[in-house]
């Protein structure tokens, strides 16, 4: 560890991955809340319990596209596409499985809201991290470049 970066790389990566996983879980809860469906208490509980499968599959999809291994120091359209792919796949797969087995599942509207919120928040978190890095003088070579292609 040096004075400039007192936190080890492994701990920093763990914090960033934990932040992403928390964002995925919060996005589902917010989506179910925002869907404003008037369920009885037992249906509400089953939707929340079935939500763990949606959140778990989104997390697995997020790791499958290897976003946890990419550097947060760089933000690109490719990252946004991978995040969106992971969130769509991670939302649709458990929803279809729940429909096929007849389990109580959240509405299509809640799944769409969840996918949108999770994708937006994960992209914003990645961009915010990059912005903080830039504004704190983190770049050793402040020369600006543009990559075309």
Please tell me the distance from the alpha carbon of residue 32 to that of residue 71, in angstroms, as a whole number.
31
- The pLDDT of residue 93: 85
Q: What does each of the 149 residues of the chain score in pLDDT, given as a tens digit?
A: 454 555 676 777 788 788 888 988 898 888 888 887 766 777 677 777 777 888 888 888 888 877 666 655 566 777 788 888 888 888 888 888 888 887 777 778 888 888 899 889 988 888 887 777 777 766 555 566 677 76
- The pLDDT of residue 1: 45
């Amino acid at each position: 560890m040096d004075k400039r970066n007192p936190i080890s790389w492994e701990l920093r990566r763990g914090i960033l991955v934990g932040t992403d996983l928390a964002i995925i879980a919060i996005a589902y809860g917010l989506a179910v809340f925002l869907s404003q469906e008037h369920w009885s208490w037992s249906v509400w509980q089953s939707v929340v319990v079935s939500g763990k499968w949606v959140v778990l599959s989104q997390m697995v999809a997020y790791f499958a596209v290897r976003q946890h291994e990419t550097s947060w120091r760089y933000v690109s359209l490719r990252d946004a596409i991978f995040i969106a792919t992971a969130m769509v796949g991670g939302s649709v797969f458990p929803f279809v499985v729940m429909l096929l087995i007849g389990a109580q599942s959240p509405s299509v509207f809640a799944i769409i809201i969840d996918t949108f919120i999770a994708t937006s928040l994960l992209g914003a978190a990645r961009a915010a991290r990059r912005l903080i890095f830039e504004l704190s003088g983190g770049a050793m070579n402040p020369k600006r470049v543009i990559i075309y292609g």
